[in-house]
Amino acid sequence: MRAIVLFSVLFAALTSCSTASQNSGNANGNEVKILKQSELAAKMKEDNVVVIDVRTPGEVVQGYITGADKFIDINGASFAEEIGKLDKTKTYVMYCRSGGRSGRAASYMVENGFTNVYNLQGGISSYNGPTSK
């Protein structure tokens, strides 16, 4: 019986962690939205959308999504300062190589009052559109 209870508690803990990492919400009810690759081109055509590449400068010089508006390295010393300068009323699409760093960056933005933030699913590694150097 004890093994069943322990298994139930462990299962509940793992399930809740998984859900929390997918939603990336904050106390205000805002959360990071996932943007599918197939939705990116249409989203970029909308008004007040800013596309931000959060990769390192070394990665950016190898190529970036054409139309990216800003390059703010999530690992850079000025990341928080640069994010703090952004207009919280705009829509932001964040991307990196595969979606992990941009997910962290997007969560940071939501935690700091941004309300319309997307993380590009799969990052530039899954992107098939035009790129620039």
Token pair recorded at residue 82: 């640069």
pLDDT above 90 for 8:
no
Mark whether 96 is an active-site residue.
yes
Determine which one of 65, 96, 106, 109 is catalytic: 96
- For residue 118, the enclosing domain spans 2-132
CATH number of the structural domain spanning residue 55: 3.40.250.10
The C-alpha angle 96, 97, 103, rounded to 5 degrees, equals 45
36, 119 Cβ separation under 8 angstroms: no
Judging by DSSP bridges, how do beta strands 131-132 and 64-65 pair with one another? antiparallel
Give the span between the Cα atoms of 8 and 32, in whole angstroms. Answer: 29
Count structural domains, the chain.
1
Total residue count of the chain as it appears in this document: 133
pLDDT tens digit sequence for 36-61? 999 999 999 999 999 999 999 999 99
pLDDT band, very low/low/confident/very high, at 129 (cuts 50, 70, 90):
very high
Q: Which amino acid is at 55?
A: R
Give the span between the Cα atoms of 110 and 108, in whole angstroms. Answer: 6
pTM, two decimals, is 0.80
Percent of the chain with pLDDT over 90: 77
Strands, DSSP E only, in 1-133? 33-35, 49-53, 64-65, 70-71, 91-95, 117-120, 131-132
Give the span between the Cα atoms of 75 and 107, in whole angstroms. Answer: 15
